[in-house]
A and B are shown apart, each in its own frame.
Chain A
Amino acid sequence: MNTDSPASGTTAHAVLSYPQFLWKALGVATDGGPLFYGWMTALTAIWLVGVNAFAHQTVHGQGLTAMTDHVSWGMYIGNFTFAVGLAAGAVMMVIPAYVYKDKEMHDVVIVGEILAISAICVALSFVNVDIGRLDRLWHMIPGIGRFNWPVSMLTWDVIVLSGYLLINLHVVGYMLYMRFLGRTPDKKWVLPFVFLSIVWAVSIHTVTAFLYSGLGGRPFWNSAVLAPRFIASAFVSGPAFIVLALQLMNRLTAFKAGEGAVQTLIQILRVTALANLFLVFAEVFTEFYTGGSHVAAAQYLYFGLHGKNALVPWIWTAIACDVFAAIVFLTVDPKKNLWIIDVACVATLFGLWVEKGLGLIVPGFVPSTLHELVEYVPNMVEWKISLGIWALGLMIFTLGLKIAVAVFTDAMHVEEA
């Protein structure tokens, strides 16, 4: 996808053509073949099931979920953590594209930014369905509510997540709109934001890590290595997702990504997958070598504790997937056996979803601060809402890409009156 100067310039008015842009985008978003309609209908159906479950949860309270006073965060916050990582990892394309001026990467970097937008929407949705009183969200608005910044890490998280969403919306929106208008994007409206997004991506996941690692009462989380672990795993999940997305786009759309982009991402994955495994190992060593009662949560996760072992098969499958993926990235030649790399990407995405999602949140609460063992297994309501939100995220991602492809292949462009 060539995002450089378009074939011809236009004289369309920058502001007044915007409604046309939106209208045409709507048209592109609802136009497609049977596969597209089937995909979007299925996603919409899943999303509506989630919406309905969410409506029930709002009325009857979160008692409908499997969360308790012992394990008071579960599926939603686990998925939130993973989604923030995915959003942060999308920036891994920006670095080679803009810092190292990799041409082929530059053409596809918008895919990463659209992933960032979708993943942030997913993350924000997960946080919002976890809030006990959604009608009181206005209490967080500084000035009219009370915003406990800078002391509460949650306030930092609100700022950085919203900021990251806005930055990426701006960059994507601006690039798409300029191309739509047939104009050359003005670098001063793009480059500073792009470089800011690199720093900001690191910050969103660091702040999310600090949410957990700052709590002295939760020794499983209260570790300095949590923030580096988050960054490392973000930089695995993001590129892995994009490697799969780019190949799907090549197959299913008019857009053809250059081979180089996928190769660069796989090179990145070689390093980051190992870094992630190393940090997990460092954490596991410190826990188990020291021993004592602070290792109880890690014991529960990896080996089970006092007969409670619901998470044990999950975490070992996840570790196996991560190890498998790391080995594959290092040894398999992507030019010859790209399909094995794809399997590894799926495997590591699953592994990270477990290891950084439920496999991080739940052991923080097991055992509880009074050392009571209450297990947590998400129930139907939580599954429905979670799948619904992921479906929404995939919808946003699909539509974002569809519009981007249409714009950059000049299929969607401004019509001057």
Chain B
Amino acid sequence: MSTDRRTMMKATGATLGAAAFARALAPLTEWTEDLSVEGFLQRHYKELSRDDMAAVLRRIEDQTREEYGASVHVEDVRPTPGVQFAYALNLSVCIGCRRCAKACHEENNHDRATNNSYIRVLEMSNGSLDLEHGNALYDHEVPAPGKFYMPVQCHQCDNAPCVKVCPVEATWKESDGIVVVDYDWCIGCRYCEAACPYHARRFNWTKPEIPAEEINPEQAYLSNRIRPQGVMEKCTFCLHRTRKGRLPACLEACPTGARVFGNLADPDSEIRWVLENKRVFVLKEDLGTQPRFFYFFDE
């Protein structure tokens, strides 16, 4: 083949290739609709000034209105000094009704299609704490004879493996003990999900879909605002409520009172009484995660 013809063929090939490449990437134009320059340039949560934070919150509120058709109020709720949260769960009293999981689903603006929740209730057999025989998909009257029920959610570990492994420090433990995620900083590598021993972390595999009338409008930046696609999320002990002194949604929904929550630093708190007077244990203690979520039986 002569050099000129060869060059012409190469040029044709290159043009066709470039066109094919552009066509292959065409779907990406849809993606850019969800992105913004400010969103792209936003710094890590800890590096934002008050004004930056206020602008971010406004932007989130505007985005929610645009994308979900709901007017919400997003705040940056910070810990109260001198508070250390802990949670205890009474396995003698839990009947496995899953109302805590449902309340979590509604409070935290989860994706409706997957019925996602941070709480997973395991039906266990009496006489064994082996998770191997637990079942999270029971669908019969509860409590069933010979079974007890163990809800599992994020334990806000003091030595959290998820915090250790995050490559960009998108998840960290705050001063009141809650392990939080900066949804606008997370890169979605899912290393934390691999590291967590309690199946506590959830990934937004798609963009969450929630009808406007079901959205809980009282939101916080680090907890229940509607998360974007491609980022991790987890139970935050309802910090938008608990940091203002209120009880978490799962506790309020529990009809039997199996859940106990409060401030470890307060010697008169209910949680301190439980830890001092009931025989409490934690899951997978040998892993050294030092959870802030305790289980106990009454008898």
Contacts and interface: CB of A to CB of B under 8 A. Distances in A.
B165 interface: yes
Contacts of A48: 20-21, 24
Nearest to A211: B191
A67 B205 contact: yes
A31 B190 CA distance: 43
A293 B31 CA distance: 44
A154 B191 CA distance: 8
B8 interface: no
Interface stretch (A100-108, A127-135, A255-263): A127-135
Contacts of A130: 189-190
B180 interface: no
A218 to B, nearest CB: 7
A147 B161 contact: no
Given A59-B28, A155-B167, A131 B132 contact: no
Interface stretch (A181-189, A321-329, A363-371): A363-371
B187 A59 contact: no
Nearest to A149: B167
B9 to A, nearest CB: 9
Interface in B2-51: 6, 10, 13, 17, 20-21, 23-28, 30-31, 35, 40, 44
Nearest to B46: A146
A49 B23 CA distance: 10
Nearest to B131: A371
Interface string B107-135: 00000000000001010000000111110
B199 A215 contact: no
Nearest to B28: A55
Interface stretch (A8-16, A91-99, A136-144, A267-275): A136-144
A130 B204 CA distance: 13
Contacts of A136: 40, 168, 185-188
Contacts of A364: 194
A51 interface: yes
Given A72-B190, A154-B191, A296-B132, A370 B198 contact: yes
A314 interface: no
Interface string B258-285: 0000000000000000000000000010
B21 A51 contact: yes
Contact of A139 (B152, B165, B170, B193): B170
Interface residues of B, number: 64
Contacts of A133: 186-188, 228, 230-231
B119 to A, nearest CB: 12
B231 A140 contact: no
A132 B170 CA distance: 13
B195 A72 contact: no
B191 A152 contact: yes
B196 A370 contact: no
A198 B280 CA distance: 52
A60 B206 contact: yes
B203 interface: yes
Given A131-B187, A136-B168, A217-B197, 7 more contacts: A61-B205, A69-B199, A132-B203, A132-B204, A133-B230, A136-B186, A367-B132
28 contacts: A48-B21, A51-B25, A55-B24, A58-B31, A61-B205, A70-B199, A72-B190, A72-B203, A131-B187, A132-B187, A132-B189, A132-B230, A132-B232, A133-B187, A140-B187, A145-B44, A146-B185, A147-B167, A148-B167, A214-B165, A215-B195, A216-B197, A218-B194, A293-B132, A370-B131, A370-B199, A372-B134, A372-B136
Interface of B: 6, 10, 13, 17, 20-21, 23-28, 30-31, 35, 40, 44, 120, 122, 130-134, 136, 152, 161, 164-170, 185-191, 193-199, 201-207, 228-232, 284, 287-289
- 5 nearest CB pairs, A to B: A132-B188, A217-B197, A132-B230, A63-B205, A63-B206
